[in-house]
Amino acid sequence: MALTIDTLGPALDRLTAKLEGVAPELNELDGRLGDGDLGATLEKCARNLREVRPTLPPDLGQAFKSCAMACSKASGSSFGTLLAVAFLTLSKATAGRTEVPWAELPELLGTVRDALTARGGASLGDKTVLDTLEAARAALAGLPEEERNDPAAQHRAAGAAVAATIDTFRDRPNRIGRARMFADRSVGLDDPGMIAFRHMLASLRPA
């Protein structure tokens, strides 16, 4: 089994539907510590992704590039920019390929993690989406050999790791971004970016 345009397309359909559905929740969470526009920004990303979805080519690099361009057009929360960077990073990593074995996901996620760190300036431990991304990557990398190419097993492992990470960081302060200015108030609250990542991951459960 592998990631191809035939699996990417339906995954984007589920992702966009999820982002639109949870937009109010993400706006409310973001409003406690930030500008309150996270959900609105991701809703714009979802709308733009839906527009390019029918024209995505078999070349995964080009497909991810189209997704990156779609997200870059959504103004607002910096999360939209990070999502565009993530897609662009995947584009570069999969250029010229029409399929990618699921076993390569940990390596791809590590590349995305590094790109987001460089772009956003956050570090692991700052209570941001990076921490959930790294939790998912580490969970996939730690799977037994026989499960590393099984998308269902990967999704279960990543989901459990992300949920545990959100629980761990809930009682810690945010150390970067607008939420850093309200560090004391952020203790006991979930980081909106982490919750957005959890929703996005949930939407990608294999059909």
Torsions phi, psi for 174 (to 5 deg) = -70, 140
What average pLDDT does this structure show over 108-137? 95
**pLDDT tens per residue, range 1-34:** 799 999 999 999 999 999 999 999 999 999 887 7
135-145 pLDDT, tens digit each = 999 999 999 99
pTM of the model: 0.93
Query: Which of 203, 131, 116, 113 is closest to 167 using CA atoms?
Result: 131
User: Which band of pLDDT confidence, cut at 50, 70 and 90, is reported for residue 188?
Assistant: confident
Share of the chain above pLDDT 70, in %: 95
Domain extent listing, the chain? 2-203
pLDDT per residue over 28-73, tens digit each?
A: 999 887 778 999 999 999 999 999 999 999 999 999 999 999 999 9
Q: Which helix (H) or strand (E) holds 2?
A: strand 2-3
> What does the pLDDT read at residue 184?
65
Q: Using CA atoms, how far apart are residues 32 and 105, in angstroms rounded to an integer?
A: 33
Would you say domain 2-203 falls under CATH 1.25.40.340? yes
CB 139 within 8 A of CB 158: yes
Residue in 25, 52, 18, 50 with CA at minimum distance from that of residue 39: 25
